[in-house]
Amino acid sequence: MDLFMVVSLILIIAMLIAALVAAESRDLISAAIAMGVVSLIASILFYMLQAPDVAITEASIGAGLSLAIMIFAIKHTVRWEK
């Protein structure tokens, strides 16, 4: 149990909780925001796995552009899942 493992386990548990929220939420906007949280934590994990190039890309695309595009799409359609 070193520091790397403790921080990784905390981040992984937070990421899986956010993924469960994205799976089960009936509000599509909160599902999209939970998906953005999953991407953001994944980018921190990429940085901890010594992949800074991938971490920059995932932080700007997964948590920024992807979330914005998804929210535009939800604004064009319906917000609540039946």
Partner 1 sequence: MIPYYYIASIALIALGFYIVIAKKNLIKIIIGLDMMDTGVNLLLISIGYVKGGTAPIENGNYPIYVDPIPQALVLTAIVIGVSVMALALSIAIGLYKNTGTVEIDEIRRLRE
Partner 2 sequence: MKRAVAAILAILIFIVLGLAFAKIPFGNVNLEDYHYYNPIQDKQTSDSVPAHYLKEGKNETGSTNIVTAVVVDYRGFDTLGEVTVLFLASTGVGSVMYIFEKEKRRKVRRANAVVETASKLLFGFIILFGAYIFVHGHLTPGGGFPGGAVIASSFLLLYLAYPKFHAEHKSLNVAESLAGLTFVGVGLIGLLVASYFLYNFLPFGLPTYLFSAGVIPIIYVAVGVKVGSELTGIVDAMMGVRE
Q: Could you give phi then psi for residue 13, rounded to 5 degrees? A: -65, -40
57 belongs to the binding site for partner 2 (CB under 8 A): yes
The mark string for 38-77 relative to partner 1 (x by CB under 8 A, - otherwise) is xx--x--xx--xxxxxx--xx--xx--xx--xx--xx-xx
To partner 2, the closest distance from the beta carbon of 69 in angstroms equals 5
The per-residue DSSP string of 30-65 comes to HHHHHHHHHHHHHHHHHHHTT-HHHHHHHHHIIIII
Dist. CA 56–CA 71, nearest whole Å: 22
Binder of residue 68, out of partner 2, partner 1, none (CB less than 5 to 8 A by kind):
partner 2
35 belongs to the binding site for partner 1 (CB under 8 A): yes
One residue of 10, 12, 13, 68 binding partner 2 per CB under 8 A: 68
Number of residues lying near partner 2 (CB under 8 A)? 14
Q: Are 47 and 55 in contact (CB under 8 A)?
A: yes
